[in-house]
Homo-oligomer: A and B are copies of this chain.
Amino acid sequence: MTNPEFKFSVSATDGAARRGTLKTGHGDIRTPAFMPVGTAATVKGMTPEAVRETGADILLGNTYHLMLRPGADRVQRLGGLHKFMNWERPILTDSGGFQVMSLNELRKIDENGVTFKSHIDGKRFELTPERSMEIQNQLDATITMAFDECTPFPADADLAATSMRRSMRWAKRSRDAFEVRKGYGLFGIVQGSIYEDLRLESVGDLTGIGFDGYAVGGLAVGEGQEEMFRTLEFTSPALPNDKPRYLMGVGKPDDLVGAVMRGIDMFDCVLPTRSGRNAQAFTRFGTVNMRNARHADDSRPLDDLCGCPACRNYCRGYLHHLVRAKEILGSVLLTWHNLHYYQELMAGMRSAIEQQRLADFALHFFARREEGDIDPA
Q: Is the CB of B47 within 8 A of A329?
A: yes
- Assembled-state Cα–Cα distance A327/B273 (Å): 13
Chain B residues lying within 8 Å of A86, measured Cβ to Cβ, are 313-314, 318
Q: Mark A287-329, 1 if CB is under 8 A from B, else 0.
A: 0000000001101000000000100011101101110110111
Chain B residues lying within 8 Å of A166, measured Cβ to Cβ, are none
Contact of A41 among B69, B321, B333 (CB under 8 A): B321
Task: Report A376 CB to chain B, min CB distance, Å.
Answer: 24
Q: Known contacts being A297-B77, A299-B78, is A69 close to B315, with CB within 8 Å?
A: no
Show 27 A/B contacts (Cβ-Cβ < 8 Å), sorted by A.
A40-B321, A41-B318, A42-B322, A42-B325, A42-B327, A42-B328, A44-B327, A47-B332, A48-B313, A49-B309, A69-B321, A69-B324, A70-B320, A70-B321, A74-B296, A77-B297, A77-B299, A78-B299, A78-B315, A78-B317, A79-B299, A79-B315, A84-B314, A84-B317, A84-B321, A85-B318, A328-B328
Task: Report A104 CB to chain B, min CB distance, Å.
Answer: 17
- Assembled-state Cα–Cα distance A84/B296 (Å): 12
Q: Known contacts being A74-B317, A78-B299, is A331 close to B328, with CB within 8 Å?
A: yes
Q: Mark A46-73, 1 if CB is under 8 A from B, else 0.
A: 1111000000000000000000011000
A251 adjacent to chain B (CB < 8 Å): no
Q: Which residue of B lies closest to A84 (CB)?
A: B318
Q: Which residue of B lies closest to A69 (CB)?
A: B325
Chain B residues lying within 8 Å of A324, measured Cβ to Cβ, are 69-70
Q: Is the CB of B328 within 8 A of A70?
A: no
A218 adjacent to chain B (CB < 8 Å): no
- Assembled-state Cα–Cα distance A104/B29 (Å): 54
Task: Report A189 CB to chain B, min CB distance, Å.
Answer: 27
Chain B residues lying within 8 Å of A318, measured Cβ to Cβ, are 41, 78, 84-86
A97 adjacent to chain B (CB < 8 Å): no
Q: In A72-115, which residues have CB < 8 Å from any B CB? A: 74, 77-79, 84-86
**16 new A-B contacts at CB < 8 Å, known A40-B327, A42-B328, A70-B321:** A41-B318, A42-B327, A42-B329, A44-B327, A45-B328, A69-B321, A69-B325, A70-B317, A70-B320, A70-B324, A78-B317, A79-B299, A84-B314, A84-B318, A85-B318, A328-B331
Task: Report A290 CB to chain B, min CB distance, Å.
Answer: 13
Q: Mark A24-48, 1 if CB is under 8 A from B, else 0.
A: 0000000000000000111011111
- Assembled-state Cα–Cα distance A243/B315 (Å): 36
Task: Report A248 CB to chain B, min CB distance, Å.
Answer: 23
Q: Known contacts being A317-B70, A318-B85, is A40 close to B325, with CB within 8 Å?
A: yes
